[in-house]
């Protein structure tokens, strides 16, 4: 039976009221996780108000090799 481990990463958005995502920085961090064998399975923003977001939460998984 395959076994997996999971990792939750929170990326903070910038700006006084949130909502500004540094896409290039986030892409670099996602690629680093991918290079370590992590696969993103879910990603969502934490809504604050009027469409602004304070953070983006990403869930990753990777197979446990025994």
Given strand 53-63, what is the order of strands in its sheet? Answer: 4-12, 53-63, 39-47
DSSP 36-50: TT-EEEEEEEEE-ST
Q: Residue 4 — very low, low, confident or very high, per pLDDT cuts 50/70/90? A: very high
Would you place residue 57 in the very low, low, confident or very high pLDDT band (cuts 50, 70, 90)? very high
pTM beyond 0.85: no
Range of the domain at 58: 4-63
The three-class DSSP label of residue 65 is coil
- What tens digit of pLDDT does each residue of 20-52 get? 778 898 899 999 999 999 999 999 988 777 767
- The count of domains in the chain is 1
């Amino acid at each position: 039976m395959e076994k997996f481990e999971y990792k939750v990463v929170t990326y903070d958005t910038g700006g006084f009221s949130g909502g500004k995502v540094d896409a290039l920085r986030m892409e670099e961090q996602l690629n680093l996780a991918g290079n370590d064998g992590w696969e993103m399975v879910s990603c969502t923003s934490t809504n604050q108000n009027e469409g602004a977001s304070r953070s983006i939460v990403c869930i990753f998984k990777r197979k446990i090799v025994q």
